[in-house]
Every structure is written in structure tokens, then in C-alpha cells.
Structure 1
Amino acid sequence: MSTITTSVNSATANAQNLVQQAAQSIISGSTGNSTMDVASLVSALVNAKTAGQTAALKAKQTSDSTTLSAFGALSSALTALQAAIKNLSDGTTLSTFGATASGKGLDPVAGAGAVAGSYAIEVKQIAASQNLSSAAFDATAKLGTGKLTLQVGGKSMDVTIDSSNNTLSGIANAINKASNNPGVTATIVTGTGGAHLVLRSTATGAANTINVSTSGVADDNGLSSLGVSSTPGANGAGSTIVSSDTNRAWRQSEAAQDALFTVGGIEASSSTNAVTTAIAGVTMNLSSASVGTTQTLTIATDTAAQNTAITNFANLYNTVVTTINSLSSYDKTSKTGGALLGDSTLMTIKNSLASIIGSGVGPKGSMATLGAIGISLKGDPADGTLVIDSKKLTASLTNNPAQVATLFNSTDGIGVKLNKSIADFVKTGGIIDTRNTALNADLKSITAQQTTLANYSAQLTKQYQNQFTALNTLMATMNNNSQYLTALFGGSKSAGALATNK
């Protein structure tokens, strides 16, 4: 018996019981034993007329909602699997390379376009940004008014200095807040001799030197001494500076310079320490630990990343299968089934995916299969999940990469087939979306029917309320009359007032 039928039968039986209790209320009221319980009677009668339909609608609503949730869980599992096989289906994963260095301070990363190989890398210096410190000043002193022009790497800005910002901290704030700041930060460092204006280029590289000039200075109390010119070093070497006022000279605590290194004896440079132009497809992230060293940079197929990607694919496939098994299960003890037990849509998806996983790729005799690379079906055929032999998979990736590449090729590989199949299932207008659309339409219809039924129940309640209230009043009047007549004429066990002349 279905859940919906069970719910309807239970609701109907309960309604009949309440009607019987209400009928007893009428009988009791008519015999003068008690006043009729109008509220209970009306409720029982209305419930008797609507209980079956109410229960049917509620059960169908619950069933549809449960089915929708089940398809939602299935769609989530399928979408996660589809994301996992994207890079396997387009060949990205199997063309990945890893980069390692024999020493510290290179931190290489191989990306698209990398080619297997080995390179000797000698780092002479790393890229740095220029850092300048002014002479010491009284932190609260008014330095004068005028204009500062700051230039960094060919870009410049003007900063107006007036009575509102002509202290050292005011100048620093004006520089930092300028909307057209060319790439310089200003801070105040206070030492034993006083406060210093510290300027730093935000970008590394020999070309990003800082130049400061002053103009239109009035009430000069040190503002004109903030001028400084920087000269980039030759061939990426460190920059040098000349102060406008030698008595209040700037100090260069760090020079602007490029990273200088050799690749297999070939001189190279970079304005940043994230070197992307030296070796195709490889980024070297240089740090001070690499300076003065010669290291070996090795680029090779990244079998660890490939193993992880394929293992992740198998695990997510297992999640899909486990979800399907749960939704289509049947418990003999409780005699309850999963939300999609016997559902044709679910079976179509299950069989389609299983067929792809169980098939091979390539011509007979040299067909590549998941089993051949260490991924096999679990012993129980009804289970359908995959078992991963990580050692065998690693060996296949290392010793027979061509077989793995065939299995996951971007034309007719397993990843491509799964991706296409899943895309058809979860797309708008696909079989899952079609079922969801029908279920949502049914739920909308159920809601409308529930509203109509509620309105009918309210109308019926009002009607019965009026009828039985009137009946209750009538029976109460009849009982009163009966009591009066008995008192007057007497009953079977007593004499009335007339008989006793009272």
C-alpha cells in the first residue's frame, strides 16, 4: 500500500470516529442529559467531509517535495563530478608539469606551456624597490608652503603644500591620499635626531626610481630641502641619488634594482621577483636566499598532481553512485524505499554512467581501461563503486603515460564521454530539469487545491455552525418545557403541582 493511500485511510478512519462521538452528543442533548457540543460536532462533520482529500493532498505534497530534494542531491553530486573531470576531459591535467629547484630561494612553478627540461640558474641579485629617508626635522615644525612634484617610473604628480599640511606628517598624508599617486608610499620614522620622511616605491625594478622636486616655496623652513633626484643603475644595477640640499641630504636605504640572473649561462633580468619571461611556462619566485647560488631547476611531468586529479575523479564518481544507491534502496525490515526507488530517470542516469566507466578507449588489443591503470569496480556488482590502487596508478602514470593519455584523451576519452553525458542530464530541458519542472507544477497545483479546500471547509463550518447552534437552542427550549410540564402535572414517579394543589 502506498504512503499516500495509507495517509488517506488513516485520516478517514479518524474522521469517522469523531463523527460517532459527535452523534452521541446529539443523542445526549435530545434526551436532556446535556447540552449538545456544537463546536465538536461541527468540527467532526467538516473533518469527515474533507479529511480524505486533505490527507491525500498533504501526502502528495510531501512525496513531491521529497522527490525534488532527491533530484537536487543527485544533481549536486553529478555537477561535482563534472567539475572534477573538466581538466581530465580537455587534456589539461595530463599535460601538467612540476618544477623543482635544488636549493632555496627560487620557488619555481610550472604552468601552461612548460616543457620538460633541466636548467642551471645563477642568481646575482633580486629585484628591489627604492627606499629613501629625508634628513631629520622637528615633527611639528611648519616647513613652508609651495608645491612638491613626485615622479616614479615615468609617472608624476603634484602635491600642494599649504598651511594645513606643511608639517612632515601633513606632507606624508597628502602624498598617500593623492588620487593620482604614481606609486609611492610615505611614512614618518622618528629617531633620536628627529622625524624623517620615508618614501618607498610600491613597485620593484631599476626603472622605478623616486624623484622629488620643489617649486614656488615661500616661508621656507626646510621644504626646499626635500628635493632629491635618482638615477637608475646601468643594466639593472642599484640606483644612486643626489639631494638638492647637501646639508639636509636624503639617504638611500635601499636601491631600486632589477633581479639579475643567468639561465644556463645566458644573462637575464626581471623588474620583479616573480620571473615569468626567462623560461617558457615557468615562474621563478626569487627571494634573498637564492642570491649568490647556482641551482638546478628541473621541470618534469607532475605525476603527483595527475594522481590526485584521477583519484578525485574516482572518489566523486563513487559519491554519485552512492547517492543513486541510497535513493533507489529498499529496506526489507521496515519495508521502506528510497525517494527514487524504481524511478526511470534515476535508472537511465545510473546505467549511462556505468556503461561509460566500464568501457575502454582505443582499438581492440590495445584498449585502455580504468582497470589497467589501477581503478577497478568493487567486488559486489550491485555496489557499482570504484576501488583505487594508488601504487598501480602512480606506476601507470610514470611508466606508461601514453595509456593514461589515451584513456583520458580530449576526443573520445572517458572524461569527455562522462562530461557530455552529465551535461545532458543536468542542462535546462534535460531529463532532471524536466522532472523538476513537472514536480514544481504539481506542487503549485496542490497548493491551489489546498486553498480551495480550506475555503470550502470555512464555508461548511459556518453553515454547520448556524444549523447546529439553532438545533441546540431548540433542544434546550424543549428540555425546559419538558421540565416545566413535569413539575406541573407530575411524572411517572412523582405528582405534579396541580395534583397536590400547591
Structure 2
Amino acid sequence: MSSLDPITMATQLATYDIQPFQKRYQMQADMYQAQLTALGKVESALREFRSAVNDMNSSTSSVIKNSTSVSQEGFFSASANANALPGSYQIFVEQVATAHQLKTGMPADLDATTEIPTTGTLDFTINGETLTIDLSTLDTDGDGKATMAELVSAINNDPDNPGVNATLVRSNGQTHFMLSSTETGVANTIDVSASGTGAAWFEDAFTNTTDLSTPKDAVVWLGAEGTGLRLENSSNTFSGVIDGVDLTVSKAQTSGEQPITLNIGPDGEATKEQVNKFIEAYNSLMSTIDEYTGIGNEDTKRGVLASDPTLRSIESQVNNLVRGDFDGMRLSLIGIEIDRSGKMTLDADKFEQAQKNDSAALEALFNGDGNLLDSIDTALEPYLMSTTGMFKTRKDSLQQNISRIDDKQVTLERRYDMAYSRYLKQFTQMNTLMTQMNQTMGMFG
């Protein structure tokens, strides 16, 4: 009678005891993990689609693009948003805006280590705002002294600084204490004074200042110089002077010169690029949803979220919106259609013609308040909220299911260990008996 291997027998029987449960738990875990991965992919595609929508629907960007051109370069540049109307304008640049810059009357032997008073105040006023520097607070290294370098740092780093920069500039072997306004225009003139310091040289330095750059406002004429509409601005950028157009002047013309022509018109290529971004994001989203929710056929496998009602609802809502009517306009009327396979396509010629005929209507369709892009963003928001959104809730639920499976696996391992120990004990005893029986039989030859 042959002996048994208790370890092998115990391992086989203990494994057989838990194997059905092990397979079922693994299948459940694989299913939950596949669903979790699929939800992540769909959520990512949905976020990318929403991001593309928002990128084309902000205060600085829209689907419809306009372009500008000028008859003479070097004097001003212009940019036009979707609200700009096509047209031609005459612009004369009389003066560009400049910032105030001055040199204080500090001693000739000034340098960064020059000691300054540690009592009194230094006051700056710019455009109605005042900054007061308490000289007693300038000593940052604790040596009981204050230096020019510490004064410069205190001015530039003060959180209440109204718009003045202080610098020490070396020229011809001499260091100068300079003050510059951070903004252009007459309103940003620097007014500075020192008081209560007990040091006449220091207070005189801020009384006897020299302008290096006089603050000026920008001046342009909408039309010819002297007869057109005169416009003045503290900044070199004129926003909304012409509806939807920003002008930035950079160089003044000579008095008597002819005004420069500014042309504004639709930018077909840039608009088409924006529309194609929208189409690509839509098609990517629909393709991802179909991949994971499809019921499958002979050529394609069944999606892990097949017929999921929530994802189908998202797909249906987005489809209804892109096929919908907004103020009498719809995408199909301007060359953007959904084909039989559900893919969005662009008829470039039809779209270009629609933009030429009525770009304002196109702008209203996409970017009008409550219209297409607004409606898409509103529809998607409940699904993508970071704490209570559908995807967050669903993924949390699936993760909890996976965690429960993990707990069951741990319990199953304990069950295996108990079964193994029981079988090992039984087969060890059996093996001992068989050994004894073999020995007894051997005695009878």
C-alpha cells in the first residue's frame, strides 16, 4: 500500500473548496474594474468636449472670428472679436501714452549702502491712491540702520503700492534713485514727498526731482486729424471705441499726414478652424460613448456599459441640442450636419456662404446667451460636478463594489487556510496509519 503526500492532497482539496467562489469574485471584480475604466474614458471625453465648448464661449473667444488689416504698419495694431462689423475706418495717431519717470535729487556719492533717516515718512500718491512708507520700519537686517537698498525693496514690495517702481541706476560712475509709474497716462503722475525725517538732504531730494519722461495720454482721431472724432485714453489700448475692436497705438504720426485705413472683415479660415475643433470634440465624445455602450454585433463586441441609460441620456441630450433650433437658426442650415452614422460633418462651402451672408446670426447661434454653447455647458454640468456629479457617484459606487470583493477575497483566503489545515491534519494522520499498516504487513513477509 503506497503512502500519500499530505501537503499535495490538502492543497488540492482546499483549492477545490474555494475555487467556485474565487472565480465568481474575480469575474465580478473584472466587470466592475472594466466599468470603472469605461466610465473614466467617457468622462474624460465629456470633459474634453465641454472644455472645447467653453474655450469657444468666453469673454475673449468665440466661434466666429474677424480679422483686421491696416494700410500702413508701425503706428497701431488692431484686433476684432465676433461682435465687430465689417467695415473700413480712418485712424490718425496724434500721440502715444507714456509713463511718468523721474530722478530724485540725491547726493552725487549715493549708492545702495547709503544710510537714510530712520524716522519720518515717505509718501507717494498716484491716480488718487497713496502709499506711506514708515522709515522706521526699513531696517530688515537688525543693524539699527536703513539703507537705500532697503528703501527700494520696501517700496517695490509693499502690498499697497499704487503703481510705482523704485530703482537704483548707475550712469557715468554715479548712482541715481529713480521712480517710475507702472501705468501710462497723466492720471498716473507720481507725486512724492518726505517729511519728519530731520534730514534736509533727504527731504530736498524728493522736492528737487527731474522728469525723465513726462506722463502723457494717448490721443487718436477717428477720421482725419483735426476734423474727426478726437479720442483720449491713459492707456495705449483703446477698447470698444469701434464696437468689437481694440486698438493699440505704438507710434505717433506727424501732424498733417493722412490717416491710416483700418479694414475689418470676417476671417473665414480662423472661424472654420474653430468650427472644426467643435466638430472633432463632438465626434470624439460620440465615438467614445458608442464604444462603451454599444450592444455589439458580429463585427464588434458588446460594450461594458451596453445600453447604460445614463450615458444614453447624455448622448441624447447632446444630440438634441446640436440638432436644435436657436433663434430660428440651426447647425444644418449653415452646413454642419449629422450623417447616418452619427458623425458630425462640415460642408465648407455652405458654411462660408452663411458666414458671408450673416455672421451675426452665426455668432448668436453659437455664442448667444442661452443658445447652443451655453445650453451644452448647462446640460453637461450636473454630470461633471466634482462632488455630486453622476460620474463621481458612479465611480465611487464601483470602487466600493471592488473594495467589497477585495474583502471577500481576504475572507476566502482565511477559508482556504482553515480548509488546508484541516485536510493536512487528516491526510497526515491517514499517511501515518498507512505507514504503520505497511510496516505490519512487512512483518508477515
Q: Same fold (TM over 0.5)?
A: yes
1:191 corresponds to 2:166: no
Gaps in structure 2 of 5+ consecutive residues: none
- Measured in 2, the distance between the counterparts of 1:146 and 1:417 equals 62
Matches within 5 A, 1:171-320: 171-218=151-198, 222-228=201-207, 243=208, 250-264=209-223, 265-276=228-239, 278-288=241-251, 294-301=259-266, 303-320=268-285
Instruction: Specify whether residues 445 and 143 from structure 1 end up closer, same or farther in structure 2 by C-alpha distance, changes over 3 A only.
Output: closer
Partner of 2:412: 453
Q: Tell me by how many angstroms 1:58 deviates.
A: 0.5
Structure 1, residues 415-467: CA drift from partner, whole Å, max 9, x if none?
67766765677689998788657645644543443343233223222322332
1:37 corresponds to 2:16: no
Instruction: Specify whether residues 76 and 218 from structure 1 end up closer, same or farther in structure 2 by C-alpha distance, changes over 3 A only.
Output: closer
Secondary structure of 2:193's counterpart equals: strand
- In 1, are the aligned partners of 2:169 and 2:175 still within 8 Å (CA)? yes
- Measured in 2, the distance between the counterparts of 1:392 and 1:219 equals 78
Of 137, 140, 163, 2:109 maps to: 137
User: Could you tell me which amino acid in structure 2 is paired with residue 68 of structure 1?
Assistant: L
Q: Tell me by how many angstroms 1:301 deviates.
A: 4.9
Structure 1, residues 314-370: CA drift from partner, whole Å, max 9, x if none?
11121123224433385858x85443456566666656656665x57499xxx9664
1:108 corresponds to 2:78: yes
Of 352, 364, 375, 2:336 maps to: 375
Q: Which one has the largest radius of gyration?
A: 1
User: Could you tell me which amino acid in structure 2 is paired with residue 449 of structure 1?
Assistant: K
Q: Tell me by how many angstroms 1:205 deviates.
A: 1.7
- In 2, are the aligned partners of 1:100 and 1:297 still within 8 Å (CA)? yes
Query: Aligned-residue CA RMSD in angstroms?
Result: 4.3
Partner of 1:321: 286
- Measured in 2, the distance between the counterparts of 1:146 and 1:414 equals 64
Q: Tell me by how many angstroms 1:66 deviates.
A: 0.8
Deviates more, 1:255-264 or 1:101-110: 101-110
TM-score with structure 2 setting the length? 0.76
- Measured in 2, the distance between the counterparts of 1:416 and 1:330 equals 34
- Measured in 2, the distance between the counterparts of 1:408 and 1:39 equals 73
Structure 1, residues 123-144: CA drift from partner, whole Å, max 9, x if none?
2222222212245324255466
TM-score with structure 1 setting the length? 0.68
- Measured in 2, the distance between the counterparts of 1:301 and 1:47 equals 74
Instruction: Specify whether residues 68 and 259 from structure 1 end up closer, same or farther in structure 2 by C-alpha distance, changes over 3 A only.
Output: same
- In 1, are the aligned partners of 2:67 and 2:79 still within 8 Å (CA)? yes
Instruction: Specify whether residues 125 and 65 from structure 1 end up closer, same or farther in structure 2 by C-alpha distance, changes over 3 A only.
Output: same
- In 1, are the aligned partners of 2:118 and 2:146 still within 8 Å (CA)? yes
Q: Tell me by how many angstroms 1:257 deviates.
A: 1.9
Instruction: Specify whether residues 442 and 280 from structure 1 end up closer, same or farther in structure 2 by C-alpha distance, changes over 3 A only.
Output: same
Deviates more, 1:399-408 or 1:193-202: 399-408
- Measured in 1, the distance between the counterparts of 2:364 and 2:221 equals 39
- Measured in 2, the distance between the counterparts of 1:420 and 1:181 equals 41
1:169 corresponds to 2:149: yes
- Measured in 2, the distance between the counterparts of 1:461 and 1:37 equals 13
Instruction: Specify whether residues 123 and 417 from structure 1 end up closer, same or farther in structure 2 by C-alpha distance, changes over 3 A only.
Output: closer
User: Could you tell me which amino acid in structure 1 is paired with residue 352 of structure 2?
Assistant: T
Structure 1, residues 71-97: CA drift from partner, whole Å, max 9, x if none?
332233234334444688999946765
Of 143, 150, 156, 2:123 maps to: 150
Structure 1, residues 92-130: CA drift from partner, whole Å, max 9, x if none?
946765555443343333458655554322222222222
- Measured in 2, the distance between the counterparts of 1:87 and 1:58 equals 43
User: How many residues are treated as equivalent by the alignment?
Assistant: 425
Matches within 5 A, 1:391-470: 391-399=349-357, 401=359, 404=362, 439-440=398-399, 442-470=401-429
- In 1, are the aligned partners of 2:99 and 2:181 still within 8 Å (CA)? yes
Secondary structure of 1:108's counterpart equals: strand
User: Could you tell me which amino acid in structure 1 is paired with residue 334 of structure 2?
Assistant: I
Higher relative contact order (CA 8 A, sep 6+): 2
Instruction: Specify whether residues 67 and 142 from structure 1 end up closer, same or farther in structure 2 by C-alpha distance, changes over 3 A only.
Output: closer
Q: Tell me by how many angstroms 1:45 deviates.
A: 0.7
- Measured in 2, the distance between the counterparts of 1:83 and 1:403 equals 23
Identity %: 27
Q: Tell me by how many angstroms 1:44 deviates.
A: 1.0
- In 2, are the aligned partners of 1:212 and 1:226 still within 8 Å (CA)? no
User: Could you tell me which amino acid in structure 1 is paired with residue 202 of structure 2?
Assistant: L
Gaps in structure 1 of 5+ consecutive residues: 1-29, 229-242, 244-249, 492-502
- In 1, are the aligned partners of 2:79 and 2:246 still within 8 Å (CA)? yes
Instruction: Specify whether residues 277 and 458 from structure 1 end up closer, same or farther in structure 2 by C-alpha distance, changes over 3 A only.
Output: same
Instruction: Specify whether residues 401 and 464 from structure 1 end up closer, same or farther in structure 2 by C-alpha distance, changes over 3 A only.
Output: same
Partner of 1:160: 135
Structure 1, residues 207-255: CA drift from partner, whole Å, max 9, x if none?
22233334445576x4344123xxxxxxxxxxxxxx2xxxxxx432212
- In 1, are the aligned partners of 2:93 and 2:252 still within 8 Å (CA)? no
- In 2, are the aligned partners of 1:146 and 1:215 still within 8 Å (CA)? no
Deviates more, 1:252-261 or 1:269-278: 269-278
Partner of 2:39: 71
1:339 corresponds to 2:304: yes
